[in-house]
Amino acid sequence: MNGRSTTGIRAILLDIEGTTTPIAFVVEVLFPYARRHLRRHIEQHATLPDYESLFDRLREDHREKQRGGEPVPVWVDRPAAARLSSAATYAEWLMDRDSKSTALKDLQGKIWEEGYERGELVGEVFEDVPRAFERWRANNVQIGIFSSGSVLAQQLLFRYSSAGDLSGFAPRYFDTTTGPKTDVDSYRRIAAAIAVPAEDILFVSDTTGELDAARASAMRTRLAIRPGNIPPAPGHGHPVVESFDNLN
């Protein structure tokens, strides 16, 4: 179902980059910040238990890509300093390729958390976002976020946003641990998690491949056309929205 009407919508699921937030903020602010602070952050937190688990996940991700024939950088496990350097080098390699690696996204989220807490980062949202959040909550419409960034990264962007703390408006956050954003089953899992039939959920994104998958799950869709977004190819078949003010 993909009608233009929002009648009967009980939940709105939102992408972040290019939908609630300018692409430029992610590409020109967040990503460079993570890269600049990556090695220092790893060295400072290397002995913490959750980081050891994170390095293990990066190592397994590295093995999988190596088995698949990808030209990954060399990974050395011993001594400990070589392992940390290998993890950092591999994380940088993943960032160069805009990888959706869950381990990388978790690491980036941890780096950004320090940046937000120090006041070095402020989450940017389009000016219509806080108005829409207020309106949707007043109308008892659930708000969810589905982004390739980690749940932590999503929460931080809205908690430390330029419009104040918006994190409480969206009680449900989903990342790639739910599944790829272009996989129809990911949207079925989200519908089950929020206990709303897929046909009563509206998904808004700037990426037609994601919208195609959501539509295949029976969700309604809107293609976000925001300043700085790449124009979509013709014939995508999704109703467009340029402002959340038009989603009542």
Domain residue spans of the chain: 11-21+123-246, 27-117
Mean pLDDT (the chain, rounded): 94
Reported as type and span, the H/E element at residue 104 is helix 102-117
The predicted pLDDT at position 49 comes to 87
Q: Note the pLDDT tens digit of each residue in 135-194.
A: 999 999 999 999 999 999 999 999 999 999 999 998 899 999 999 999 999 999 999 999
pLDDT at residue 6 is higher than 90? no
CATH of domain 27-117: 1.10.720.60
| Sheet strands side by side (includes 172-174) | 172-174, 142-146, 11-14, 201-205, 220-224, 240-241
Topology of the domain covering 11-21+123-246: Rossmann fold (3.40.50)
Q: The pTM is what?
A: 0.92
- Strand pairing report for 172-174 and 240-241: unpaired
C-beta of residue 186 within 8 angstroms of C-beta of residue 214: no
